[in-house]
């Protein structure tokens, strides 16, 4: 990590020093990057770690007996251990590298599909993972498409029924609504820890309790929580969880699947081939335990090294300090929006727990026009349905404008966002 971030006092987050670690803050002009919920910027230490590995230690991992292979494998597995520690996994073997979080969720869904077909060669006494016709998969109406479409497909393949908890006029679902949608045949509950549209934080303990009372598995989409708050997945009690590298200061092209060891070892691999097997004959194959059983082919080695550096960077900042700062940013974002007439805030109201992101509807102005107006003023936001069309349909809008903050976001950038947002309706003549 750079000297600037290394000097941060434990328990605090000096945004000025943090920003010194990010080259994008030195771009000419006055730019406010408020799109970290889509993808985060990367600090110098992450770029340096990945570059140094590629230049000095690059080799295939888990293949061969050369010194180079050994060094690369150590770097790869050290990254896995760092990530396991960061999210509270009791052992590195509970961390599987995937292409991204979407891929991780598909690994679970496709594995359950194969288990339902009797594939996978799971050992006697392994957990029962097969779904039968009439079994139920439960989600919420607020889910990102990545945590919805795989379960739609799983239901179609197995004859299971997909059910969901509805959202209200603010885009929020409740544990009571989830419980009402559940039943004795509920076998899996998949839900987002933090909504990428509303910023609402799910009651994970309540959902896990509901699932356990039904004998159902839980799958947590942790993309918007792992980068922003201290997370202990083992303590949360979820069976599987997924998150992405590029949303937490790391590289693109890598995600993580976390799972309970006995479930990972019982889950059939979604993709097969090199690196996943113990024995192969012309008639059949036997697979390694997790995580290798899921990491077919050439692994994302340099990306894993970069992600390991990202979690070490966040650990040095201190996740309690990151979370506390983001609570401040969330309050500033909500206040900036609520000061502007004719702008509707989606999600939890002021004072309620939320992530440091806001999605808004500007009366009389399409979200894409709002985004272009802000972009012309040097403020980068996200526009569209944010891969959550059912949620937007429930809100009665096709798209929203989202601003999202992270460790490098300043109070002034949020003030600029609020001031520019206040000019939108007049610019488009929507205030007449």
Q: What tokens does 116 get?
A: 């339902």
In angstroms, the CA 116 to CA 125 distance is 16
In angstroms, the CA 356 to CA 349 distance is 13
Q: Is the dihedral of CA 329, 39, 235, 171 positive or negative?
A: positive
Q: What tokens does 44 get?
A: 């110098």
Q: Which of 386, 332, 331, 395 minimizes the C-alpha distance to 361?
A: 395
In angstroms, the CA 316 to CA 21 distance is 13
Q: Which of 38, 52, 161, 387 is catalytic?
A: 387
326 near 355, Cβ under 8 Å?
yes
Q: Which residue has the tokens 């690994």?
A: 107
Q: Which residue has the tokens 């004072």?
A: 351
- For the question of residue 223 being annotated catalytic, the response is no
Which positions are annotated as active-site residues?
387
């Amino acid at each position: 990590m750079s000297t600037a971030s290394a000097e941060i006092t434990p328990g605090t987050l000096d945004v000025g020093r943090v920003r010194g670690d990010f080259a994008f803050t030195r771009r000419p002009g006055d730019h406010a990057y408020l799109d970290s919920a889509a993808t985060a910027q990367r600090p110098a230490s992450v770029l340096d770690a990945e570059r140094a590995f590629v230049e000095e230690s690059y080799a295939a991992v888990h293949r061969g007996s050369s010194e180079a292979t050994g060094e690369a494998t150590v770097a790869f597995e050290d990254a896995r251990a760092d990530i396991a520690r960061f999210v509270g996994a009791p052992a590195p073997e509970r961390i599987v590298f995937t292409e991204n979080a979407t891929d991780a969720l598909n690994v679970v869904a496709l594995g359950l599909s194969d288990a339902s077909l009797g594939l996978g060669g799971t050992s006697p006494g392994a957990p029962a993972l097969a779904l039968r016709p009439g079994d139920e998969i439960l989600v919420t109406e607020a889910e990102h498409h990545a945590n919805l479409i795989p379960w739609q497909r799983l239901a179609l393949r197995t004859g299971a029924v997909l059910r969901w908890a509805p959202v209200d006029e603010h885009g929020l679902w409740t544990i009571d609504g989830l419980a009402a949608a559940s039943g004795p045949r509920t076998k899996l509950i998949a839900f987002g820890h933090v909504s990428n549209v509303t910023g609402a934080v799910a009651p994970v303990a309540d959902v896990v309790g509901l699932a356990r009372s039904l004998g159902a598995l839980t799958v947590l989409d942790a993309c918007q929580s792992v980068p922003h708050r201290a997370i202990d997945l083992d303590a949360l009690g979820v069976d599987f969880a997924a998150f992405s590298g590029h949303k937490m200061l790391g590289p693109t092209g890598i995600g993580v699947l976390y799972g309970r060891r006995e479930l990972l070892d019982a889950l059939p691999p979604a993709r097969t081939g090199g690196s996943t097997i113990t024995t192969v004959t012309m008639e059949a194959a036997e697979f390694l335990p997790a995580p290798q059983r899921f990491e077919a082919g050439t692994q994302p080695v340099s990306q894993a090294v970069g992600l390991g550096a990202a979690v070490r960077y966040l650990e040095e900042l201190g996740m309690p300090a990151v979370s506390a700062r983001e609570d401040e940013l969330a309050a500033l974002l909500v206040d900036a929006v609520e000061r502007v007439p004719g702008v509707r805030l989606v999600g939890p109201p002021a004072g309620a727990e939320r992530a440091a992101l806001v999605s808004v509807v500007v009366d009389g102005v399409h979200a894409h026009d709002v985004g272009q107006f802000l972009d012309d003023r040097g403020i980068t936001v996200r526009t569209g349905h944010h891969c959550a069309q059912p949620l937007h349909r429930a809100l009665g809008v096709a798209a929203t404008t989202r601003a999202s903050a992270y460790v490098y976001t300043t109070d002034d950038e949020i003030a600029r966002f609020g001031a520019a947002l206040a000019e939108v309706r007049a610019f488009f003549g929507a205030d007449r």
